[in-house]
Structure 1
Amino acid sequence: MSELNSLKAKRRSGAIMSRRYYDLPPFTTLAAFEAAARHMSFKNAAQELSVTPGAVSHQIKALEEDLGKPLFLRQHRGVELTPEGETLLETLGASFRQISRQLSNIRQIGGEDNVTVGSTTAVAALWLSPTVIDFWREYPDIKVHQVTQDKPFDYARDFDFIICYGQSVNPTLSQTPIYRDDLVPVASPEIAADLKDIDLEGLASQRLIHLEASSPSWTRWSDWFTGLGYTKGIANGPRVTSYSVALQFARKGAGIALGWRRLVEPMIESGKLAVIGDHSLPAPHRFYLCGQPDENLSKGARALKEWILDKSQDT
């Protein structure tokens, strides 16, 4: 037993010597673990890495021995990650994506002119895309890649910046305020005309379209009524998980949506939606640009950030 412990100590000592500055285990062990954990399958990881499942298993065992902790629970029907394995997968996944993105920029000619921006689908369609189109006309050589999703961006550092409603909970991100919107009830022009003089109590009894957003910061009907001093019950109605769908329902006369005035302004100007009455509440939160600090942004990303801020100042 003492000889085995001595061998392990020497192995660890030798590994540390070979790691030098970053004190990392061999990259092959990290790559094998990340692929196996992502697939939750040694077999599928082996296919991705063009090796045998036995080779993947060997690399993971070597990593577990080095760390002194199990990363997988081997079970009859497959494998599961241990808490240490889940933490390591999250760290490696984010790191590998960041490395991949930077290498992609380096490989591309004019990589300085590539910008990646994340936002919800509604923000992209109603506000960000028109802003980016105007930016392209001024800076045609800068390529802007928009990524949209209606759930929070877990890996914000994979982007130059993302558009957030309210500050991000990630304290490592740079957070620059863009503007504060106003919240108003919107519906089809026909419904808005019928309800133009309605009070808050009457509005609360109408067919309201409720947005079940993934982000807890997103303002809901109950927040809006409370902010205006109305604390009684409000009516049920359709529940959707996408703001774009909520606006579509409102356009078709299926109910009343809570409108972000600046976001829906193009739909109001085109006559697709109309504001009901004069009930308005300043949004509890601002919209923010959250992402890399300015010193880490490319020349193109800094140009787009300045453009967005310049075009979006509070009026």
Structure 2
Amino acid sequence: MMHSKDVSLPPLALLPAVMAAARNGSFSAAAAEMGVTHSVISRHVAQVEQWLGYDLFERYGRGVRPTPDGQRFLRDVQGAIELLSQGAQPWRQRRGPDVIKISLLPSYARIWFLALVPDIERDLNVRLELEISERLADFNEGQTDIAIRCGKGQWQGTKSTRLFSDDLVPLISPKLLAGRDPQSLDAEAIASLPLLNDSDATGWRHWLEAHGVKFRQKPSDRRFEDYSVGLCAADAGIGVILSRLPFARKAIASHDLVMLPFAPVRSPLATFLVQPGYEQRPAVRAVAERLISAARDCE
């Protein structure tokens, strides 16, 4: 284990004067910024230069500018300060509710997540800042704390917890049934109808193969990146859509859709709560645990 005596650190308390002098190009201006005298800035800079063994600034007129060595030192100090700030930021005690940044798809927001927000914010004294987006979450520099995504749970540099297994059931509008009895449709008949996909045809391909039918893409099939838009398209009679349990009943309740009489088929994909690989602050962990618990209550 490394102890402080093993590391030779610059005089850290004096560095603000050096940085202020570099920012302002003048010891007098640096002194005014820091609320001290010119001589204090001059003395602090001189002590840092003595520790380094070279000059940080060259003087011209009433101003100063960094020497080449000074430029390199100041750049490294600034980088170290920024790195230290980023590392310490997640552990600071915050005033008021802690802000938790959550990235999720629009469909998850509408169908499941938004109804949870008021209780979570009240019970955990947090504010959930939502990024409703199709793009992958960026955990760098604290841009995202938690992401909710559909996939196989394998995203580099992250840890994933399964929220929902995607058990797929087909939903159809009475408009598309056109008076036919849902019981009369077998998997082959469904495959002949316009099929609605979300990001790709993985779900339909898997569902049809589970019923012994080969998936074949048709010109009448359509793709909607936003699943909730796909539900509206199914409601309009444009095609048949696969819905994920436990959301299918909500979809039926909010749309004029009928669940076709087939046993659910487990998708190779699932819904995951995704977090960065590093340790997160307590408030983020509490929100993650609450979401995992809420998902279990849905099943």
TM-score interval w.r.t. the shorter chain? 0.5 to 0.7
* Corresponding position of 1:263: 247
1:203, distance to aligned residue in structure 2 (A) = 0.3
* CA deviation string 1:209-266 (max 9, x = no partner): 23345xxxx8332232123321253543223332222111112222111211223432
Alignment counterpart, residue 282 of structure 1, candidates 266, 273, 279: 266
* Corresponding position of 1:239: 223
Alpha-carbon contact 1:123-1:263 (below 8 Å) kept: no
Alpha-carbon contact 1:225-1:231 (below 8 Å) kept: yes
Which residues of structure 1 form unaligned runs of 5+?
Answer: 1-16, 20-26, 28-61, 67-91
Over 3 Å counting, the alpha-carbon distance change for 1:101 and 1:271 in structure 2 is: farther
Alignment counterpart, residue 160 of structure 2, candidates 175, 183, 206: 175
Alpha-carbon contact 2:171-2:242 (below 8 Å) kept: yes
* Corresponding position of 1:301: 284
Equivalent position amino acid for 1:196 in 2: P
Alignment counterpart, residue 276 of structure 2, candidates 292, 302, 308: 292
Classify the secondary structure of the residue corresponding to 1:297: coil
Q: TM-score, normalising length from structure 2?
A: 0.61
Which aligned pairs between 1:1-315 and structure 2 lie closer than 5 A? 109-110=95-96, 113-139=98-124, 141-155=125-139, 158-191=143-176, 194-197=180-183, 198-213=185-200, 219-231=202-214, 233=216, 235-236=218-219, 237-293=221-277, 296-313=279-296, 315=299
Alpha-carbon contact 2:102-2:131 (below 8 Å) kept: yes
Classify the secondary structure of the residue corresponding to 1:253: coil
CA distance in structure 1 between the aligned counterparts of 2:284 and 2:293, rounded to whole angstroms: 14
Alpha-carbon contact 2:204-2:215 (below 8 Å) kept: no
Equivalent position amino acid for 2:291 in 1: I
Alpha-carbon contact 1:121-1:150 (below 8 Å) kept: yes
RMSD, aligned α-carbons? 3.8
Classify the secondary structure of the residue corresponding to 2:195: coil
CA distance in structure 1 between the aligned counterparts of 2:107 and 2:271, rounded to whole angstroms: 13
Higher strand share: 2
CA distance in structure 2 between the aligned counterparts of 1:212 and 1:274, rounded to whole angstroms: 23
Which residues of structure 2 form unaligned runs of 5+?
Answer: 1-7, 11-18, 20-70
1:271, distance to aligned residue in structure 2 (A) = 4.5
CA distance in structure 1 between the aligned counterparts of 2:90 and 2:271, rounded to whole angstroms: 29
Alpha-carbon contact 1:135-1:304 (below 8 Å) kept: yes
Equivalent position amino acid for 2:160 in 1: Q
Over 3 Å counting, the alpha-carbon distance change for 1:194 and 1:116 in structure 2 is: farther
Alpha-carbon contact 1:97-1:158 (below 8 Å) kept: no
* Corresponding position of 1:10: none
Over 3 Å counting, the alpha-carbon distance change for 1:106 and 1:283 in structure 2 is: same
Over 3 Å counting, the alpha-carbon distance change for 1:117 and 1:184 in structure 2 is: same
CA distance in structure 2 between the aligned counterparts of 1:137 and 1:267, rounded to whole angstroms: 28
CA distance in structure 1 between the aligned counterparts of 2:149 and 2:85, rounded to whole angstroms: 24
Report how many residues are paired: 223
1:97, distance to aligned residue in structure 2 (A) = 12
CA distance in structure 2 between the aligned counterparts of 1:308 and 1:196, rounded to whole angstroms: 36
Over 3 Å counting, the alpha-carbon distance change for 1:99 and 1:185 in structure 2 is: farther
1:300, distance to aligned residue in structure 2 (A) = 2.3
CA distance in structure 1 between the aligned counterparts of 2:87 and 2:238, rounded to whole angstroms: 43
Equivalent position amino acid for 1:199 in 2: D
1:199, distance to aligned residue in structure 2 (A) = 0.1
Q: TM-score, normalising length from structure 1?
A: 0.58
Alpha-carbon contact 2:101-2:146 (below 8 Å) kept: yes
CA distance in structure 2 between the aligned counterparts of 1:191 and 1:99, rounded to whole angstroms: 58
Alpha-carbon contact 2:150-2:270 (below 8 Å) kept: yes
Classify the secondary structure of the residue corresponding to 1:152: coil
Classify the secondary structure of the residue corresponding to 1:181: strand
Equivalent position amino acid for 2:225 in 1: T
1:138, distance to aligned residue in structure 2 (A) = 3.2
1:298, distance to aligned residue in structure 2 (A) = 2.7
Equivalent position amino acid for 2:147 in 1: I
1:145, distance to aligned residue in structure 2 (A) = 1.1
